[in-house]
Structure 1
Amino acid sequence: MEQVVPYADKRYCVRHIWANFKLQFSGATFKELFWSAARATTLFDFEVAMESIKFLSEEAYEYLAEIPAQHWSRHAFSPFPKSNMLLNNVCETFNAVIKEARDKPILTQMEWLRRYMMRRNHEKWESYQEMEDKVVPYVKKTFERIEPATRHCIV
């Protein structure tokens, strides 16, 4: 990737880092501190979590310190990509979708993928046509769920 797209922002899937980390350093405390470091939005919060890990285990701290923070901790993410995702769910979902086409020749795979995308786009279009609101159903449900709490907010 570095040779093909040298200036692309690179991030690692934190769930995969955690899966490897917990093989050596298990326990609820390590899990809580690891995810606190990954979700930290400031350098200070990140350092607090990392120092807590260091207090528990110097080896665990060294393991995480070897992975550049800009690849796995929210505080160090570049501001240019407009996402603060820690997990690689898009790739995981894509891999699950194409599972049945993987063992086919490349042209057959491409045709399968083309048809899949056309079918999916058509289904999304049809569901959009049936919408009565200006907001997608998921967002509408979320708003309805939090609306009672907003009645007590003061601007």
Structure 2
Amino acid sequence: MVAKEFPRAEHRHCARHIFANWHKSFRGDEMKMMFWACAKAYNEADFKDGLDAMREVDPRAADAFLAYNPNLFCRAFIKTTSKNDVIVNNMAETFNAYIISARTKHIIYMLEEIRVALMQRLVKKKTEMEKKCIFVCPRVQEKLEKEKELAAMCTPLPSSDIVYQVMYGTDNLTVNLQTRECTCKKWNLTGIPCAHAIAAIFDKYEKAEDYVDDCYKKETYLRIYGSSITP
């Protein structure tokens, strides 16, 4: 049904559930860290390094990991168009918890309780955001501030007005401010400038907030919650 109604929608698996099954055979904190290092890697080079490290410790663990099809639950392989790096089903679980009390009722009363809750939620979220004097959403701003701190450890080297080579430790990355891409792939995937990109942005004396994807801006948020559910 989903494939029919939303043919261009990306299909992802929950990394947390995959880990729960995988970890039954490959226990220990070291294996746990290796699993998530691979799953959370933003680019294929880091993913490969993580997988190689896992294979050195236990080749069977690496083979079992690949058997779950990393294309469906690893950040290195998910599409960059959605501007979302979530690889667990927390959003679905959160909504499930939101309607947990309504689910125990008769279907008519259940649907009515969910409708009323969502009707009020739309108004509440919109009203709260209208009161905030911000440019991007608060949680996105928090992530941006953390990246700004890391940007202090980066050295931007301009190649042109829009392209930079950025040195970060032993890594050399390429940042394109026009296409809003970095070879670390974090900016491409999340829509939030990474530390390397911010270093280049600051070199041009510009604001990192101006380079955040439009989907995270207050104006977009208000449009999303601008609709209403009628009584």
Match in the other structure for 2:111:
110
Match in the other structure for 1:90:
91
User: CA, structure 1 residues 56+94, in 2 after alignment: closer, same or farther (shift >3 Å)?
Assistant: same
Q: Larger % of strand: which?
A: 2
Q: Is the 8 A contact 2:18 2:68 kept in 1?
A: no
State the secondary structure of the residue aligned to 2:87: coil
Residue type of the alignment partner of 1:34 = F
Q: Is the 8 A contact 2:55 2:61 kept in 1?
A: yes
Q: Note the alpha carbon deviations across 1:45-68, whole angstroms, 9 max, x for none.
A: 212211222222232122211111
1:142 Cα deviation from its structure 2 partner: 3.0
State the secondary structure of the residue aligned to 1:85: coil
State the secondary structure of the residue aligned to 1:79: coil
TM-score of the pair, normalised by structure 2: 0.56
1:142 aligns with 2:145: no
Match in the other structure for 1:21:
22
Q: Note the alpha carbon deviations across 1:24-54, whole angstroms, 9 max, x for none.
A: 2121211121111111222222122112222
Match in the other structure for 1:49:
50
Take 2:3 and 2:102, find their aligned partners in 1: how far apart are those partners?
Answer: 29
Residue type of the alignment partner of 2:138 = Y
Q: Note the alpha carbon deviations across 1:62-94, whole angstroms, 9 max, x for none.
A: 221111121011111123333221221110100
Q: What runs of 5+ residues in structure 2 fail to find an aligned partner?
A: 153-198, 204-231
Q: What runs of 5+ residues in structure 1 fail to find an aligned partner?
A: none
User: CA, structure 1 residues 125+76, in 2 after alignment: closer, same or farther (shift >3 Å)?
Assistant: closer
Take 2:86 and 2:144, find their aligned partners in 1: how far apart are those partners?
Answer: 25
Take 1:144 and 1:58, find their aligned partners in 2: how far apart are those partners?
Answer: 38
Match in the other structure for 2:82:
81
Take 1:140 and 1:24, find their aligned partners in 2: how far apart are those partners?
Answer: 37
Residue type of the alignment partner of 1:109 = M
TM-score of the pair, normalised by structure 1: 0.79
Match in the other structure for 1:69:
70
Take 2:139 and 2:3, find their aligned partners in 1: how far apart are those partners?
Answer: 40
Residue type of the alignment partner of 1:21 = W
User: CA, structure 1 residues 72+105, in 2 after alignment: closer, same or farther (shift >3 Å)?
Assistant: same
